[in-house]
Structure 1
């Protein structure tokens, strides 16, 4: 055993690393999908904050 205890969820998915970059309908792919979606959503919010909103212009939410 190393200096750090191992995380119990580290290999909880498919008996392999949960952060492995796997393709297909695997738990690892779904984790990466969620992470990248969060990054994309944050990027859109920052883009919108800077005044480059396409959505507001199309929907005419703010005149």
Structure 2
């Protein structure tokens, strides 16, 4: 039995600069990582982010 091959080739988007779906997805992921890191810093140090940065 031979495997079934796809009939069309998927269109793969290459990374682009500027406002594109790829750039927005990457920006969202970076924001999520930054938010989680902020929560970890606050949990580990026992201070808020502004206090940790010396702005409080």
Report TM bin, short chain.
Answer: 0.5 to 0.7
Instruction: Give the 3 Å change call, closer, same or farther, for CA 48–35 of structure 1 in structure 2.
Output: same
Distance 1:36 1:54 in 2: 18
Q: Which residue of 2 aligns with 1:43?
A: 37
Contact kept in structure 1, 2:41 and 2:49, CA below 8 Å: no
1:22 aligns with 2:16: yes
Which is higher, the Rg of structure 1 or of structure 2?
Answer: 2
User: What TM-score comes out, normalization by structure 2 length?
Assistant: 0.59
Gaps of 5+ in 2: none
Q: Which runs of 4+ in 1 moved over 4 A?
A: none
More helix by share: 2
Gaps of 5+ in 1: 3-10, 59-63
After superposition, the CA RMSD in angstroms is 2.3
User: What TM-score comes out, normalization by structure 1 length?
Assistant: 0.53
Contact kept in structure 2, 1:21 and 1:32, CA below 8 Å: no
